[in-house]
Amino acid sequence: MDKSTSTSTFKVLIVDDERVSRTVLSRFVTKKFPFCKVLEAENGLDGLQLINQESPDVVFLDLRMPIMNGVEMLEVMRKIPTRLTIPVVITSAVQEKSIVLRLNQLGVMEYLLKPFDVASVFARISKMFKTIRETKESKESVANSYNSIDNVLQKELIHKILLIDDDLSFQMFFSSMIGNRCEVVLCDNGDSAYKHILRDGMITDVCISDKLVDGGRIPQNQKVGLQNLHFLAKNSRISSVLLLSVCIFVRSEMD
C-alpha cells in the first residue's frame, strides 16, 4: 500500500451481529492497515451511537441484524447531513434485487458478498481506503483554506473606522473609498463620536475631518467631544483608538 496513506489514524467501524465475522475482519484490517482504529457494533442502533461518538471514516455494514438491520441504519445515516457522505461497505450474503436497489439509492461504496476470504478482497479494501483517505485529506485542505479566508474576513469585519465629519458628501465619498475594506461608522460631531466610542468597543481608528473647523473656531459641542476623544486616545483602556490625519490639529486645540 502507498506509504502516503498510512500516516494518520483512520477510523473503521464494523457493524455485524456475528462476533466471528467482526473479529476476522477486525484482525485483518488491524494487521494489514496498522494506521486504522477499528470500532465494533453488533447491531444498527449501536452502530449509530458509535458513529455519533467517533465519526468513523468508513463503515463495514452487515444487513441482517437484530434490533436495527443494516438498511434501517443506513436510512437513518443518510437523513443526517453530517453523516450523509460517510462511505459504507456492505458485507452480507443478501442478494435480493429490491434490497440491492435500495442500497444503491442510499449510496454504498462497495458490496462484499459473504462468505468472503478477507485475503482475497485485500486489493479492493486497500483501494477503497486509499480513495477515502485522499478524499478526506482533500476536503480537509479545502476546509483549512476556507477557514484561513474566514479568519481574514473576520478580522476585516471587526475593523471599524469612525469618521467625524458634518459634510454628507464627504461622508459618502469616504465610505465608498474605505467601506469595501472595513466597516465605517459616521458621526457629524465630536460629542456624538465620543458617545459612540463608549458604546462600541470595536472602534479601531478615528478620522477627524479638518472641515469641523469654522473660521479657526470649533463649535462648543464639537470641542467638548474632541476633548473627550483626545482623552480616549491617551487612555490605555481604549488604546486601539488612533486619531488619524488631523490629530495634530486636535493637540493644538487642546494644548
How many domains does the structure of the chain reveal?
2
Q: Is residue 221 part of a domain?
A: yes
* 248 vs 165, higher pLDDT: 165
| Mean pLDDT to the nearest integer, 96-112 | 93
Distance CA 154, CA 24 (A): 50
- 148, 177, 211 - which closes a domain: 148
Asked whether the predicted pLDDT for residue 217 surpasses 50, the reply is no
- Residue 76 CA, chain-centre distance (Å), reads 24
Same domain, 39 and 69: yes
Instruction: Tell me: do 187 and 124 sit in the same domain.
Output: no
- Kindly state the average pLDDT of the residues 237-252: 38
Which of 129, 148, 167 delimits the end of a domain? 148
Give the residue, 230 or 132, on which the prediction is more confident. Answer: 132
**Residue that wins the pLDDT comparison between 111 and 254:** 111
Q: Tell me: the pLDDT tens digits for 61-88?
A: 999 999 999 999 999 999 988 888 899 9
Q: What percent of the chain has pLDDT over 90?
A: 43
Label residue 5 by pLDDT band (50, 70, 90): very low
For residue 110, what are the domain limits?
Answer: 3-148
**129 lies in the same domain as 232:** no
Element (H, E) at 1: none
Confidence label for 207 from pLDDT (cuts 50, 70 and 90):
confident
The per-residue pLDDT of the chain, averaged, comes to 77
Which one-letter amino acid corresponds to residue 95? Q
DSSP 3-state of 161: strand
pLDDT confidence band for 117 (50 / 70 / 90): confident
The DSSP bridge partners found for residue 89 are: 60, 110
174 shares a domain with 97: no
d(CA 86, CA 228): 59
| pLDDT above 50 (res 210) | yes
Q: Is residue 80 part of a domain?
A: yes
CATH number at residue 101: 3.40.50.2300
- Same domain flag for 107 and 171: no
Let me know: does 244 contact 198? Beta carbons within 8 Å: no
One domain for residues 173 and 229: yes
Question: Which has more pLDDT, 216 or 114?
Answer: 114
Residues 121 and 197 in one domain: no
In a domain, 130, yes or no: yes
Checking if the pLDDT of 138 tops 90, the result is: no
Q: Residue 118 falls within a domain, yes or no? A: yes
129 or 174, which is more confident: 129
For cell 466597516, the residue is: 183
Question: Which among 133, 242, 166 has a CA at the least distance from the CA of 197?
Answer: 242
Q: Is residue 153 part of a domain?
A: no
The predicted model gives 23-40 an average pLDDT of 94
Give the β-pairing of 243-244 and 183-187: unpaired
> DSSP secondary structure string, 69-126?
-HHHHHHHHTTSGGGTT--EEEEES---HHHHHHHHHH--SEEEESS--TTTTHHHHH
Q: Are residues 170 and 144 in the same domain?
A: no
Contact partners, residue 254, CB within 8 Å, separation at least 6: 226, 227, 230
CA distance 249 to 1: 72
Q: For residues 18 and 62, is the Cβ–Cβ distance under 8 A?
A: yes
CB-CB contact of 181 with 152 (8 Å): no
Residue 78 lies in a domain: yes
Q: Note the pTM of the prediction, 2 decimals.
A: 0.56
* 8 occurs within a structural domain: yes
Shared domain for 24 and 133, answered yes or no, is: yes
Q: Is the pLDDT of residue 15 over 90?
A: yes
DSSP H or E segment with residue 63: none
Last residue of a domain, one of 148, 176, 193: 148
166 and 109 in a common domain: no
pLDDT band per the 50, 70, 90 thresholds, residue 146:
low
Encoded amino acid at 199, one letter: R
If asked whether residues 163 and 216 sit together in one domain, one would say yes
If you ran DSSP here, which 8-state letter would residue 242 be given? -
| Residues 143 and 172 placed together within one structural domain of the fold | no
Per-residue pLDDT reduced to its tens digit, 39-54: 999 999 999 999 999 9
Residue 72: its pLDDT value, please?
A: 97
Residue with cell 457522505: 85
